């Protein structure tokens, strides 16, 4: 399922609204590093690839703006480990 992901810089998160429910990928931006702190998808929407789309949008944003990524969220960490094309973004 494809969802529309939007960036909400005021809330420091990427969002996807579906069926009246909000899925998010939260971050904190400090010193050129996007610290990915939490990815949340409501229980009724899980298993549809929404979290992956949120994280992909966040990583694309980081790449476009020259940010590194610190995957504090276990989902983001696992996503980056599974996708070698994201390794250059990793703030180690």
Q: What is the CA radius of gyration of the chain?
A: 12
Give the pLDDT confidence of 20-51 residue by residue, as tens digits. 999 999 999 999 999 999 999 999 999 999 99
The whole-angstrom separation of Cα 35 and Cα 63 is 14
- The answer, yes or no, to whether residue 1 has pLDDT greater than 80, is no
Residue 67 CA to its chain's centroid (Å) = 13
pTM of the entire structure?
Answer: 0.95
Determine the pLDDT at residue 85. Answer: 95
Q: What are the tokens at 88?
A: 């250059």
Four-residue CA torsion sign, 30, 75, 9, 41: negative
Strand-pair partners of 16: 23
């Amino acid at each position: 399922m494809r969802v529309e992901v939007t960036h909400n810089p005021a809330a420091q998160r990427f969002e996807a609204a579906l069926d009246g429910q909000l899925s998010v990928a939260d971050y904190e931006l400090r010193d050129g590093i996007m610290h990915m702190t939490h990815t949340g998808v409501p229980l009724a929407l899980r298993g549809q690839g929404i979290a992956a789309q949120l994280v992909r949008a966040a990583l694309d944003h980081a790449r476009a703006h020259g940010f590194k990524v610190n995957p504090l969220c276990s989902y983001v960490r696992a996503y980056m480990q599974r996708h070698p094309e994201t390794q250059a973004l990793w703030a180690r």
